[in-house]
């Protein structure tokens, strides 16, 4: 592998978009054949398009030329993550000409460094691309792992926080639902928010993928809905999840307002409250969450994922066993779910409320005799 090109070797002409598309089409098709969810494939394709353009500019090679060595992954990290230079300034190694070429090609939104989460995601996509091709994974190299870990710590020390979407716990959810009084749109949005939240913190791809045929009513206050292939379960085996109480009632109200025997459960609306036949997109689900948060006057960084993280956080807050939570969310990794779960649990923890809390007689207090108490005080 040659070193990166000198600045005078950078192209003076814009990258050909059709060429970039050709170089990533095979990669996207590989992910699709591997059973990756459609929304995830789009995310992967965007990342691979960026890799294709960057490789072309940095190394004059194509994405599918074979396995990449670890030094390429290292170069990608230092090219894209800003780091402190000792004078209070932040810089990246990506040459300005190359940065401008990436923006001109349409694979980069703006000039400058990328967020840590973006770089991590693109490395994860590269790693999966190598696994699908049975190539040695450059991201497993200790040099890459160490650099990424140290870069994250450096940013944290400088106060650069990793961005997470605001979790919709119970109170903001109630505030959002209170705005759902605007006719058919409100009926739909209420049903969508409650199904996505109460039904196990569903991903937006799972929400838009639900069909009317996936529903089964048990009684006036209980529905079951079936999930097929999802991000973490690509086998397509149908798994039923319960929807009870207010969530079930909201779903019934939506089906009454927009009756249908088949097709997408949540559909688009037109002027005058007319219900269309086309289902919502994932982006529209995100916009519904943001719009309801804005109408409720809630501050935060809201997105479709806020419903999923909020469900887990609230479950921890209410002391629901982790196993029951994961059975609803279908998380495979305990590590992934524990961050949200523990944050919620700590909100109600007595350990966070020690100051000013009334003393509680415990085993230790009962075991101390008067003499022991005096000796303890004298120490």
* CATH (domain of 132): 1.10.150.130
Report yes or no on 275 lying in a domain. yes
159 sits in the region (left: phi over 0; alpha: psi -120 to 50; else beta) called left
Q: Are residues 78 and 191 in the same domain?
A: no
Residue found by looking up tokens 């710590």 in the block: 153
The string of pLDDT tens digits covering residues 260-272 is: 999 999 999 998 8
Report yes or no on 366 lying in a domain. no
3-state helix, strand, coil in the chain (%, to 5): 55, 10, 35
Residue 17 above 50 pLDDT? no
Q: Are residues 198 and 330 in the same domain?
A: yes
Q: Are residues 103 and 175 in the same domain?
A: no
Contact between 313 and 343 under an 8 Å Cβ cutoff? The reply is yes
Amino acid 344: pLDDT: 73
Amino acid 369: pLDDT: 45
How many C-beta atoms lie closer than 10 Å to residue 211's C-beta? 15
Report yes or no on 61 lying in a domain. yes
Q: Are residues 151 and 177 in the same domain?
A: no
Q: How far is CA 337 from the centre of its chain?
A: 12
Q: Are residues 21 and 62 in the same domain?
A: yes
Report yes or no on 110 lying in a domain. yes
Which pLDDT band, with edges at 50, 70 and 90, does 181 fall under? Answer: very high
Report yes or no on 368 lying in a domain. no
- Residue 213 DSSP one-character state: G
Report yes or no on 35 lying in a domain. yes
Residue 312 above 70 pLDDT? yes
The contacts found for 76-81 with CB under 8 angstroms, 24 or more apart, are: 76/119, 76/122, 76/123, 77/119, 77/123, 77/144, 77/147, 77/148, 77/151, 78/147, 79/54, 80/113, 80/114, 80/118, 80/119, 81/113, 81/114, 81/116, 81/119, 81/151, 81/155
d(CA 108, CA 15): 12
CA distances to 83, 90, 371 from 87, rounded to whole Å, are 11, 9, 61
Amino acid 84: pLDDT: 66
Q: Are residues 308 and 200 in the same domain?
A: yes
**Continuous segment of H or E residues that includes residue 215:** strand 215-219
Domain range for 49: 7-157
Q: Are residues 153 and 176 in the same domain?
A: no
d(CA 161, CA 155): 7
Mean pLDDT of the chain: 81
The string of pLDDT tens digits covering residues 32-44 is: 555 555 656 777 8
Closest to 48 measured CA to CA, from 60, 67, 36, 62:
62
The string of pLDDT tens digits covering residues 84-126 is: 666 666 677 889 999 999 999 888 989 988 888 889 999 999 9
Kindly tell me the number of DSSP H helices and DSSP E strands found in the chain.
16, 7
d(CA 30, CA 132): 7
Contact between 160 and 284 under an 8 Å Cβ cutoff? The reply is no
Q: Are residues 185 and 325 in the same domain?
A: yes
Q: Are residues 332 and 220 in the same domain?
A: yes
Residue 217 above 90 pLDDT? yes
Residue 245 above 90 pLDDT? yes
- Number of structural domains in the chain: 2
Closest to 249 measured CA to CA, from 177, 169, 329:
177
Amino acid 308: pLDDT: 93
Out of 41-50, 144-153, 330-339, 354-363, the most confident range is 144-153
Which pLDDT band, with edges at 50, 70 and 90, does 216 fall under? Answer: very high
Q: Are residues 41 and 151 in the same domain?
A: yes
Contact between 58 and 80 under an 8 Å Cβ cutoff? The reply is no
The contacts found for 370-379 with CB under 8 angstroms, 24 or more apart, are: none
């Amino acid at each position: 592998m040659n070193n990166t090109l000198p600045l005078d070797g950078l192209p003076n002409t814009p990258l050909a978009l059709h060429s970039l598309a050709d170089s990533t089409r095979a990669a996207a098709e590989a992910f699709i054949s591997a059973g990756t969810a459609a929304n995830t494939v789009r995310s992967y394709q965007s990342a691979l398009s960026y890799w294709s353009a960057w490789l072309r500019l940095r190394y004059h090679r194509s994405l599918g030329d074979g396995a990449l060595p670890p030094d390429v992954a290292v170069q990608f990290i230092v090219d894209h993550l800003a780091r402190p230079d000792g004078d209070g300034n932040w810089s990246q190694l990506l040459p300005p000409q190359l940065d401008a070429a990436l923006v001109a090609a349409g694979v980069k939104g703006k000039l400058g460094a990328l967020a840590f989460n973006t770089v991590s995601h693109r490395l994860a996509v590269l790693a999966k691309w190598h696994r699908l091709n049975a190539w040695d994974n450059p991201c497993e190299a200790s040099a890459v792992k160490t650099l990424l870990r140290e870069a994250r710590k450096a940013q944290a020390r400088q106060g650069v926080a990793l961005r997470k979407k605001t979790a919709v716990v119970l109170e903001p959810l109630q505030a959002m639902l209170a705005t759902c009084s605007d006719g058919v749109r409100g009926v739909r949005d209420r049903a969508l928010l409650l199904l996505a939240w109460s039904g196990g913190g569903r991903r937006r791809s799972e929400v838009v993928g639900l069909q009317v045929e996936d529903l089964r009513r048990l009684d006036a206050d209980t529905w079951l809905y079936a999930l097929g292939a999802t991000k973490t379960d690509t086998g397509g085996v149908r798994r039923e999840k319960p929807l009870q109480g207010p969530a079930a009632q909201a779903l019934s109200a939506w089906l009454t307002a927009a009756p249908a025997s088949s097709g997408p459960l949540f559909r688009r609306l037109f002027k005058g409250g007319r219900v269309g036949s086309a289902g919502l997109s994932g982006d529209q689900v995100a916009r519904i969450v943001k719009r309801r948060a804005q109408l409720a006057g809630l501050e935060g960084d809201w997105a479709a994922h806020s419903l999923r993280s909020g469900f887990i956080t609230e479950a921890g807050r209410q002391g629901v066993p982790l196993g029951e939570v994961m059975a609803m969310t279908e998380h495979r990794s305990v590590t992934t779910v524990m961050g949200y779960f523990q944050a919620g649990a700590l909100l109600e923890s007595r350990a966070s409320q020690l100051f000013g809390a009334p003393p509680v007689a415990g085993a230790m207090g009962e075991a101390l005799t008067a003499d022991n108490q005096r000796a303890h005080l004298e120490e």
